[in-house]
Amino acid sequence: MYTAHSDIGKIKTLFIKNAEQAFISDAHIEKYWKELNYLGKPDYRKALKEYDMFQSVLKNQGAEIHFLPEDPSVNMDSIYCRDASIATNQGMIICNMGKAGRRNEPMAEKKAFEANAIPVLGAITAPGTLEGGDVAWLDEHTLAVGHTYRTNQEGIRQLTQLLNPLGVEVITVPLPHYKGPADVFHLMSILSPVDTKLAVVYAPLMPIVFRELLIKRGYQLIEVPDAEFDSMGCNVLALAPRQCLMVDGNPQTKAALEKAGCTVTVYQGEEISVKGGGGPTCLTRPVYRYIS
């Protein structure tokens, strides 16, 4: 059995966007990386090598992989394909991006879902905004949603309206200003579920009420140190329960995960993750996971 209402079960089906189809060329990167607020200019050839390694990990896990095609209507950020949609058991919810440079990504993904016979439940429409990096399943019936510069209250209202008939409770998590509207700061920047009642968190930017809610629900929290937040220590993809994928260069968080009984695989992600602010959760759009 499998479900779309999980961020921890073994991945059954997912979509990804190859670096080659997202970054296009070195000339394309040169033209757009500053405009899209990347921390540095990705090296195209290195990015392709990093992505090949990343993709090989997913293949080795046995996941059924669908590839999002190159699309002239979208840009480099489309590599972070989680953000443009949300998976549910009744079909995909098509997001409405809070970042202006990403507005065409949801419709591009919708075309890919339809081409692969994956149903669409609904869409978030203006003035609502919602990005997939702001949502995380706490269990099959509970979805946490960050209220951020990328996801507004109207977007959350529309999402709640779509999910209520499915018996899903939506918990709103108001996030701080941090670096402001131009920065990529999602709920999953500070929270990565990796098993039932186990999550990686960055406490300094976590609302007290939400932290206390997780603890009340019985969560064990693996704390990311300050030194590993900017290097994406908190962005951890659960390939399966306690089988984790993360960007290399976060040894303290990796050790803490292993101490909690997790198996951790790392990948080189300077070009495809760190510079664009998108770790392994951002690089994947899981649709179904096996029920753990």
184 pLDDT band (50/70/90 cuts)?
A: confident
Mean pLDDT of 196-206: 97
140: domain CATH number is 3.75.10.10
187 pLDDT band (50/70/90 cuts)?
A: very high
3 pLDDT band (50/70/90 cuts)?
A: very high
- The predicted-structure confidence for 15-36, as pLDDT tens digits, reads as follows 999 999 999 999 999 999 999 9
- Is the confidence at residue 172, as pLDDT, over 80? yes
Count: domains in the chain? 1
CA angle, 162 then 83 then 271, to 5°: 170
When the pLDDT of each residue in the chain is averaged and rounded to a whole number, the result is 97
- Is the confidence at residue 292, as pLDDT, over 90? no
Q: What is the DSSP code string of the chain?
A: -EESS-SSSPEEEEEE--HHHHH--HHHHHHHTTTTT-SSPPPHHHHHHHHHHHHHHHHHTT-EEEEPPP-TTS-GGGG-GGGGEEEETTEEEEPB-SSGGGTTHHHHHHHHHHHTT--EEEE--TT--B-GGGEEEEETTEEEEEESSSS-HHHHHHHHHHHGGGT-EEEEEEPP-TT-TTS---GGGTEEEEETTEEEE-GGGS-HHHHHHHHHTT-EEEEPPGGGTTTTTT--EEEETTEEEEESS-HHHHHHHHHTT-EEEEE--IIIIITTT--TTTT-EEEEEE--
The pairing of beta strand 220-223 with beta strand 198-201: parallel
Q: Which domain holds residue 10?
A: 2-290
pLDDT value, residue 97 = 97
- Global confidence as pTM: 0.96
Mean pLDDT of 127-151: 98
- Is the confidence at residue 93, as pLDDT, over 90? yes
280 pLDDT band (50/70/90 cuts)?
A: very high
pLDDT value, residue 182 = 85
φ, ψ for residue 20 (rounded to 5)?
Answer: -65, -40
Burial 41-74 (b: 16+ CB within 10 A, else e): ebbbeebeebbeebbebbeebebeebebeebeeb
